[in-house]
Amino acid sequence: MTVSVLVVDDSGFFRKRLTEILTSSGQIKVVGAATNGREGVELAERLRPDVITMDYEMPVMDGISAVREIMRKHPVPVLMFSSLTYEGARVTLDALEAGAVDFLPKNFEEIARDNSQLQKILIDRVLDVARSRPGARPVAPFRDGAPPPAARAPVDAAPVRSRPEPILRQRHGIQERAPGVGATGEAEVPRRHARRGPAKHYAVVGIGTSTGGPVALQRVLTALPASFPAPLVLVQHMPASFTPAFAERLNKLCRIEVRQAEDGDVLRPGLALLAPGGKQMMIENRGGQARVRILPGDERLNYKPCVDVTFGSLARSFPGKTLGVILTGMGSDGKEGCRMMKQSGSDIWSQDEKSSVIYGMPMAVAKAGLTDEVLSLDEIGPRLVEGVS
């Protein structure tokens, strides 16, 4: 099925270059181009594309304002293009909060060194974004640090699907699926009933996420009180120039303390440490005390930071004493780390399909039979407050 794309950018060169790359795949058709945010909003309403690529700095109407208006009128998956600077990070986080699904550097040389790799990354990212759920993210942030309302449905009300259901109709990135049937015609796997006993003590709580993660992490962490009894480590797929701004943003919104991790940091209750972009974060047990090791990013690994690396270190350092939580994201990063944690006796929770922007990472963990509890995004924060002592 061909994915239709609307390109919104005030640079004629960028519009032409991006159109050439996307149409070369044979799977993507650029159905329109806009030179500013206002024109982009109008064309989005008229053309109803499956995906919109959006610049953030444009005349007449900027990209963030355009995303907000598109999400209000007719939600469409949006891929933002931004600069890999602190200011670019701040603007991109605003765009993700407004409803954009994902982002890429606007300087193509920062994406890939050769043209073939660049084409693959751009095309794959647009196709992945087309499969996302623009309605899955919260519309408004919790700027006052108040926790989100508890979800109305009980934890075991929805099934975990062994794989995505068949798409009956895809329009504007929103998929309608046949109820009760998997992608190959298999019945849905019923959700395992969670036995909620008394709260448990965990040496560390680890949270891993990718696409949709910035807003999901904000949603979860703002639900936690300043007195949260366990330390947290956060792994979000994000460039090195973005993670400092993201940590600062979370720290302003949350009652717990949030900051970017540094080598040698000591974990403590009520502190969440975010893995720095471009590097790997491992947790060591030094005399019963959890400390951070920050290592150079291994070129052999696709993700820097990588959830598998951090969770694997938790399994080795604190066997049976940690909680791993996998949130929305593309791919399957975190599955092997969760497997190691599970084998050591630790607990694993994952986000459900309905509330995930992209049900990749949580699905990989659920399909592998590693998940103890499957929770909606709104349930995870309150469940942490209830289940961690």
Distances (CA, A) of 281 to 228, 306, 349, 350: 22, 8, 21, 21
Q: What is the DSSP letter of 193?
A: P
Distances (CA, A) of 1 to 38, 54, 127, 133, 178: 29, 23, 11, 17, 18
Q: Can you tell me the distance from the alpha carbon of 358 to that of 128, in angstroms, rounded to the nearest whole number? A: 8
Q: Which one of the listed residues 237, 313, 332, 347 is annotated catalytic? A: 237
Q: Can you tell me the distance from the alpha carbon of 295 to that of 292, in angstroms, rounded to the nearest whole number? A: 10
Q: Which one of the listed residues 9, 333, 347, 352 is annotated catalytic? A: 333
Q: Can you tell me the distance from the alpha carbon of 389 to that of 377, in angstroms, rounded to the nearest whole number? A: 21
Q: Can you tell me the distance from the alpha carbon of 248 to that of 95, in angstroms, rounded to the nearest whole number? A: 16
Q: Which one of the listed residues 210, 317, 346, 356 is annotated catalytic? A: 210
What is the per-residue DSSP string for 112-180? Answer: -SSHHHHHHHHHHHHHHHHTS-GGGS-SS--TT-PPPPPPSS-TTSSPBPSSPPPEEEEETTEEEE-TT
Q: Residue 100: helix, strand or coil by DSSP? A: coil
Q: Is 11 a catalytic residue?
A: no
Q: Can you tell me the distance from the alpha carbon of 42 to that of 276, in angstroms, rounded to the nearest whole number? A: 38
By residue count, the chain amounts to: 389
Q: Is 210 a catalytic residue?
A: yes
Q: Is 333 a catalytic residue?
A: yes
Any idea which residues carry the catalytic annotation? 210, 237, 333
